[in-house]
Amino acid sequence: MRKQRILVIEDDAAVRQGIVDALDYEGYETLEADDGIRGLHMALKVDCDLLLLDLILPGRDGFEILQQVRATRPTLPVVILTARGAENDRVRGLKLGADDYVVKPFSVKELLARVEAVLRRSPERPSDLRVVKLPNAVVDLSRREVRFDSGQRRELSEREAELLRYLAQNPGRAISRKELLSRVWRIDPSGIETRTIDMHIARLREKLHDNGDEHNIILTVRGRGYMFAGEKA
């Protein structure tokens, strides 16, 4: 299973290096940004499992980054870093959707404990999901192959396999087209036509023999997106 990846957005070089060193020592993979502009770009584009976000940043402040992250990646865990005594900032950050906060100056033990706790309860925590069980088939995601009970086999494209993986990692949750563009396609969904999602869902349903009658695997949730109704291994 791959290492959990954490994006650290902090403009103070010494503080950022201390955080990165502590996370690396604990076995996490880290990414860094030292200003709000680069940080926002990375927060929307890169594949990460948690965001450690300073609120006072050059270019774009942490609140703006948090708002845009919540709009495009609603389940990405975010822990904000705030100055001691800045209660209004902590309250505002939590209202905007932060999962937790750490007050500067903080101890390494406290930071790591909060990171671990947030990752543990996050729906986006990494998964080594390789097999998806369906009512009529088994999907080997590593081989991108569907093996039906009848003996028939179908091959999935890389994008179709990743789309199914993401849906299956979040069973019973309606996932918006924008979230799929952000998490599976790794692109900023702002202003982008989302018809490509519907086309890929249609092709995936066809390959899975998801006919909506005998088998219901990927459900359309009106006004919200798509939901996985199958059974993951």
* 107-161 pLDDT, tens digit each: 999 999 999 988 887 655 445 578 999 988 999 988 899 999 999 999 999 889 9
The answer to whether residues 85 and 139 belong to one domain is: no
What domain count does the chain have? 2
The answer to whether residues 150 and 204 belong to one domain is: yes
* Nearest of 65, 66, 127, 64 to residue 100 by alpha carbon: 66
The answer to whether residues 16 and 107 belong to one domain is: yes
Query: Residue 1 in 3-state DSSP?
Result: coil
Instruction: Pick the last residue of a domain from 120, 140, 166.
Output: 120
Whether the per-residue pLDDT at 13 is higher than 50: the answer is yes
User: Does residue 58 fall inside a structural domain?
Assistant: yes
Instruction: Pick the last residue of a domain from 66, 97, 120.
Output: 120
> Can you give the pTM of this predicted structure?
0.58
* 171-195 pLDDT, tens digit each: 888 999 888 887 787 676 666 667 8
CATH assignment at residue 185: 1.10.10.10
The answer to whether residues 116 and 137 belong to one domain is: no
Look up the domain containing 222 and give its range: 131-232
The answer to whether residues 62 and 103 belong to one domain is: yes
In whole angstroms, what is the distance from residue 100 CA to residue 137 CA? Answer: 40
Q: How far is CA 150 from each of CA 3, 136, 153, rounded to the nearest angstrom?
A: 37, 8, 9
